[in-house]
C-alpha cells in the first residue's frame, strides 16, 4: 500500500518550487475550485516560509492536505500550468501543497484562528464530509457558531472512509477535522437526522441549515446473483481497508470489477495490492467512454489490472458452497446513436471468486423528501441550488457537495461549501463578505457524473430485450 508519490525532501521541494514563473492572473488559481493562491504559496516555499505557505493554502481550502493527495491535479491546477506549453512538464503543485501542509501538521503549528468577533448566529451543518467541513470552517471564521451532525462514528466522509489507502490514509482526514474543530466548530458523530434530532428541532435551534449529505449507497445492477456471498460494493470494499487491519480484509484470487470510473480504478488497484492474482474490469462501453481519468486508467494497468470492454454483465454465478464462481456477460457494440446493443450469441463466463460493483451511487432523494419536504430536486435526484450561494428552494437551507453537484471531486465539495458559507453569512448578517474565486474551466476535461455506468436495471433489461 505504498503511496503513489512520496513526500518531497526539502531540496526537492525547493528545486521544484523554483521552476514556477509566479504568473500574474495565474491560470492555476482559476482552475482550482477553492481558489488557492498557488503562486504565492509556492513563492513562500522558495523563501523558506513554510508556515506562511501552509497558511495561504489552508485559508483557501481547509482540507488542503487531503486535496494535495487526492485532487486530480493533472486536469485541474497542473492541467492549466503554463509550463505545460514551455517545457511539457507542469509544476508539481499537488506535491508542493502536500510539502507545505505536512510541515505544519507534523509540528502542530496552528495557522488558522477562531474569529475574534462573534455574530451570535448558529448554523447546523448536516454531514461531516468535505462539503460540510468546508462550509463549517468558513462559517466559524466569519464568526458564526457551527454544529456538524454526522451519522457515522467518525467524521470526514469519503476522505475518512472512501479514499484508496495508497492515495491517503484516514489519519490525514481526521487531523483536518481537528483543524476545523480548533476554529470552534462542534462535531457530533453518531447522530442521525430524524432519529436523534428532528428537522423541526434544527429549525428551532439554528438560524440556518447546510445540507452536505453526499450520495446514497451504491446502486444495484439488477441482475441475478447480485446478493450471493463474494459480491460487494466497491466503496464498501475500500471502507473495509480503512476500518479493518489489512490482513483482515477479504479479497479473492480472481476479482472482477464492474464499472470504469475512478472508484472502479481504486478497487482494481487496491485488490491487486492486497494480493489478488487477477483483477479484471468489465465495462459495457468502449475504452474511450470510460469516466475514469486517463492517469488513473494508466495506474490500474501498471498495477496489473485487466480491462474487458464492450461486455455487459447479465448474471453472477454461484459455485460450490453458494459463493461466487463466475460472471456471465454478453458482448456489446456501439450504435450510431451513441448507445450500445447486445451481440447475439456472444454470451461468455468470466471465472472469478469475487465481484466488486463500481457503478455509481444513488441520490439521497427519498431521505431529503422525507426530512425536508418541499425541497426542490432536479430530475436526477440531486438538490437544486443557486450555484453562487448554495441556496435551495427552502428558506434558510443551503447545500453543496455531491448531494447537489451529482458527484465530483473533494475540492469541488470544499469550494461549494465555502460559497454556501458566504451565502449563509450574507443572509444572517446582511454583510457582503469576500466570496471565493469563481473558477474557470479553461477547457479542462470535466469528470462525468458518478453513476454513468450500467447501474440502471431498466437499462440492462432494455439491452437484453
The CA–CA distances, whole Å, from 247 to 243, 302, 422, 427 equal 12, 23, 45, 51
Look up the CATH number of the domain holding residue 91: 1.10.1060.10
Residues 344 and 368 in one domain: no
Whether 117 maps to a domain, the answer reads no
Residues 335 and 459 in one domain: yes
Residue 331's contacts (CB-CB under 8 Å, 6 or more residues apart) are: 310, 311, 312, 342, 343, 346, 348
Of 37, 72, 106, the domain-final residue: 106
Instruction: Give the count of domains, the chain.
Output: 3
What whole-number distance in Å separates Cα of residue 72 and Cα of residue 115?
32
The pLDDT value recorded for residue 247 is 84
What whole-number distance in Å separates Cα of residue 29 and Cα of residue 243?
35
The pLDDT value recorded for residue 211 is 98
Residue 293's contacts (CB-CB under 8 Å, 6 or more residues apart) are: 72, 74, 75, 262, 445, 447
Residues 291 and 307 in one domain: yes
Whether 346 maps to a domain, the answer reads yes
What whole-number distance in Å separates Cα of residue 46 and Cα of residue 62?
22
Residues 240 and 354 in one domain: yes
Yes or no: say if 37 and 56 are a contact pair by the CB < 8 Å rule. yes
Residues 273 and 201 in one domain: no
Residues 326 and 455 in one domain: yes
Query: The C-alpha cell of 401 is what?
Result: 457537495
Whether 98 maps to a domain, the answer reads yes
Look up the CATH number of the domain holding residue 273: 3.50.50.60
**Angle, alpha carbons 24-30-36 (nearest 5°):** 85
Domain assignment of residue 90, given as a range: 10-106
The pLDDT value recorded for residue 13 is 98
Whether 148 maps to a domain, the answer reads yes
What whole-number distance in Å separates Cα of residue 222 and Cα of residue 234?
16
The pLDDT value recorded for residue 87 is 85
Whether 318 maps to a domain, the answer reads yes
Nearest alpha-carbon partner for 211 in 424, 46, 449:
424
The C-alpha R_g of the chain, in whole angstroms, comes to 23
Nearest alpha-carbon partner for 97 in 49, 130, 55, 57:
57
Residues 126 and 201 in one domain: yes
Residues 355 and 402 in one domain: no
Whether 224 maps to a domain, the answer reads no
Q: What is the pLDDT along the chain (465 residues), one digit of tens a residue?
A: 667 778 999 999 999 999 999 998 899 999 999 999 999 999 999 999 999 999 999 999 999 999 999 999 999 999 999 999 888 899 999 999 999 999 999 999 999 999 999 999 999 999 999 999 999 999 999 999 999 999 999 999 999 999 988 899 899 999 999 999 999 999 999 999 999 999 999 999 999 999 999 999 899 999 999 999 999 999 999 999 888 888 889 999 999 999 999 999 999 999 999 999 999 999 999 999 999 999 899 999 999 999 999 999 999 999 988 999 999 999 999 998 888 999 999 999 999 999 999 999 999 999 999 999 999 999 999 999 999 999 999 999 999 999 999 999 999 999 999 999 999 999 999 988 765 444 444 334 343 333 333 333 433 444 433
Residues 255 and 341 in one domain: yes
Residue 277's contacts (CB-CB under 8 Å, 6 or more residues apart) are: 253, 254
Whether 80 maps to a domain, the answer reads yes
| Parallel, antiparallel or unpaired: strands 354-357 and 231-233 | parallel
The pLDDT value recorded for residue 454 is 37
The pLDDT value recorded for residue 306 is 97
Residues 202 and 277 in one domain: no
Residues 366 and 355 in one domain: no
Nearest alpha-carbon partner for 333 in 287, 288, 284:
284
Whether 77 maps to a domain, the answer reads yes
CA atoms within 13 A on the CB side of 190: 1
What whole-number distance in Å separates Cα of residue 359 and Cα of residue 260?
8
Residues 332 and 279 in one domain: yes
Query: The C-alpha cell of 179 is what?
Result: 483543524
Amino acid at each position: 500500500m505504498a503511496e503513489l508519490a512520496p513526500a518531497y525532501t526539502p531540496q526537492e521541494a525547493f528545486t521544484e518550487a523554483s521552476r514556477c514563473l509566479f504568473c500574474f492572473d495565474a491560470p492555476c488559481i482559476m482552475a482550482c475550485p477553492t481558489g488557492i493562491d498557488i503562486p504565492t504559496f509556492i513563492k513562500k516555499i522558495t523563501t523558506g516560509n513554510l508556515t506562511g505557505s501552509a497558511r495561504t493554502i489552508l485559508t483557501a481550502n481547509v482540507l488542503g492536505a487531503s486535496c494535495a493527495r487526492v485532487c486530480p491535479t493533472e486536469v485541474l491546477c497542473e492541467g492549466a500550468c503554463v509550463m505545460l506549453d514551455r517545457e511539457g512538464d507542469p509544476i508539481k503543485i499537488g506535491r508542493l501543497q502536500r510539502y507545505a501542509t505536512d510541515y505544519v501538521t507534523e509540528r502542530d503549528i496552528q495557522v488558522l484562528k477562531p474569529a475574534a468577533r462573534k455574530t451570535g448566529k448558529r448554523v447546523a451543518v448536516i454531514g461531516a464530509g468535505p462539503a460540510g467541513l468546508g462550509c463549517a470552517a468558513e462559517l466559524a471564521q466569519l464568526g458564526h457558531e457551527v454544529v456538524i451532525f454526522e451519522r457515522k462514528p467518525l467524521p470526514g466522509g469519503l476522505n475518512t472512509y472512501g479514499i484508496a489507502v495508497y492515495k491517503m490514509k484516514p489519519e490525514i482526514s481526521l487531523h483536518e477535522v481537528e483543524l476545523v474543530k480548533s476554529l470552534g466548530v462542534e462535531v457530533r458523530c453518531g447522530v442521525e437526522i430524524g432519529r436523534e434530532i428532528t428537522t423541526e428541532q434544527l429549525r428551532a435551534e439554528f438560524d440556518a441549515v447546510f445540507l452536505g449529505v453526499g450520495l446514497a449507497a451504491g446502486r444495484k445492477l439488477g441482475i441475478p446473483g447480485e446478493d450471493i456471498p463474494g459480491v460487494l460494493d466497491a466503496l464498501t470494499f475500500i471502507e473495509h481497508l480503512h476500518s479493518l487491519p489489512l490482513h483482515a480484509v477479504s479479497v479473492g484470487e480472481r476479482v472482477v470489477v464492474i464499472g470504469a470510473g475512478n472508484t472502479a480504478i481504486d478497487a482494481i488497484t487496491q485488490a491487486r495490492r492486497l494480493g489478488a492474482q487477477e483483477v479484471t474490469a468489465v465495462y459495457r462501453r468502449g475504452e474511450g467512454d470510460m469516466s475514469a481519468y486517463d492517469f488513473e486508467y494508466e495506474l490500474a494497468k501498471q498495477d496489473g489490472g485487466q480491462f474487458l470492454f464492450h461486455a455487459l454483465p447479465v448474471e453472477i454465478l454461484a459455485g460450490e458452497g453458494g459463493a461466487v464462481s463466475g460472471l456471465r456477460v454478453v458482448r456489446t457494440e456501439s450504435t450510431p446513436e451513441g448507445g450500445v446493443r447486445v451481440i447475439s450469441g456472444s454470451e461468455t463466463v468470466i471465472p472469478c471468486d469475487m465481484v466488486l460493483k463500481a457503478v455509481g451511487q444513488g441520490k439521497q432523494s427519498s431521505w431529503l423528501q422525507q426530512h425536508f419536504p418541499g425541497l426542490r430536486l432536479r430530475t436526477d435526484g440531486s438538490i437544486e441550488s443557486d450555484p453562487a450561494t448554495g441556496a435551495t428552494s427552502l428558506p434558510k437551507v443551503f447545500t453543496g457537495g455531491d448531494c447537489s453537484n451529482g458527484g465530483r471531486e473533494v475540492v469541488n465539495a470544499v469550494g461549494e461549501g465555502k460559497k454556501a458559507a458566504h451565502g449563509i453569512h450574507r443572509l444572517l448578517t446582511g454583510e457582503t463578505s469576500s466570496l471565493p474565486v469563481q473558477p474557470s474551466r479553461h477547457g479542462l476535461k470535466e469528470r462525468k457524473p458518478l453513476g454513468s455506468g450500467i447501474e440502471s436495471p431498466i437499462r440492462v433489461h432494455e439491452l437484453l430485450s
